[in-house]
Amino acid sequence: MSSSTGRRTARWFAAGMIGICALTVTACGSSGSSGSSEDGTATVRFLGHTGLQASMDEVIKEFEAAHPNINIEAEYAPAGPTYGQTLVTQIQGGNAPDIFFGNGGTGATESLIPLAKSGKLLDLSDQAWVANIPDEAKSLYQVDGKTYGLLMDEAPHGILFKPSTFTSLGLEPPVSIGIIGRNARSA
């Protein structure tokens, strides 16, 4: 993880954790694996996938150093379908993590929109960081104007292609999304 990406992730994680820890400790009391203890410390369960483990362990270590009264109990499941199924199983079994990695939108088992619509997620709209969610990303984390997830990062995506393949098929090599669509209709 680059140092700037690490610092940005740590800031977002810390902002989310502070708000969520306050909600979790209030909601959980001292029962279950999450909540507060008699000595004033709080334990918060985090579930992520193994692809995040190295960077998140670093972020969690920094967070716990800055907030010694909060202990993050991290669990990781293999990325992909196994992770999504682990999360859904924990939620349905009444053993949901306090914080988890989820995809914005609707495209995966761990996507936030279906979980929010089914009433499985806490409305986080009153958190200060909500104002910083880019307008372009709000539809991935909000349902009916309520926010259910924290945007941790943004990643560029692209389409790679071999121009000679397009030319050999009599198709114009794409330079825009419109040309990709036109080629798809022609193929």
pLDDT at residue 96 tops 90: yes
pLDDT tens, position by position, 112-131: 999 999 999 999 999 888 99
**Three-state secondary-structure class, residue 8:** helix
What is the pLDDT of the chain when averaged over all its residues?
Answer: 81
Q: Give residue 1's pLDDT.
A: 45
Domain assignments of the chain as residue spans, ordered by start: 3-147, 157-187
pLDDT band at 15 (very low <50, low <70, confident <90, very high): low
> From CA 128, how far away is CA 106, in angstroms rounded?
25
Residue closest to 13 by CA, chosen among 146, 129, 121, 104:
129
Please state the rounded mean pLDDT for residues 75-90.
Answer: 94
pLDDT band at 182 (very low <50, low <70, confident <90, very high): confident
Residue closest to 122 by CA, chosen among 103, 147, 145:
147
Name the more confident of 79 and 172: 79
Name the more confident of 30 and 150: 150
**Three-state secondary-structure class, residue 99:** strand
**Three-state secondary-structure class, residue 180:** helix
What whole-number percentage of the chain has pLDDT above 70? 77
* Total residues belonging to the chain: 187
**Three-state secondary-structure class, residue 53:** helix
Residue 8's Cβ-count burial label (10 Å; 0-12, 13-18, 19+) is middle
pLDDT band at 37 (very low <50, low <70, confident <90, very high): low
Considering the four listed CATH numbers 3.40.190.10, 2.60.120.10, 1.10.10.60, 2.60.40.10, the one that applies to the domain covering 3-147 is 3.40.190.10
Name the more confident of 128 and 24: 128
List the Cα angle 122/59/52 in 5-degree steps. Answer: 75
> From CA 48, how far away is CA 54, in angstroms rounded?
11
**Three-state secondary-structure class, residue 77:** strand
Beta strands in 26-179 (DSSP E): 35-36, 42-49, 70-77, 99-100, 142-143, 146-147
Name the more confident of 43 and 1: 43
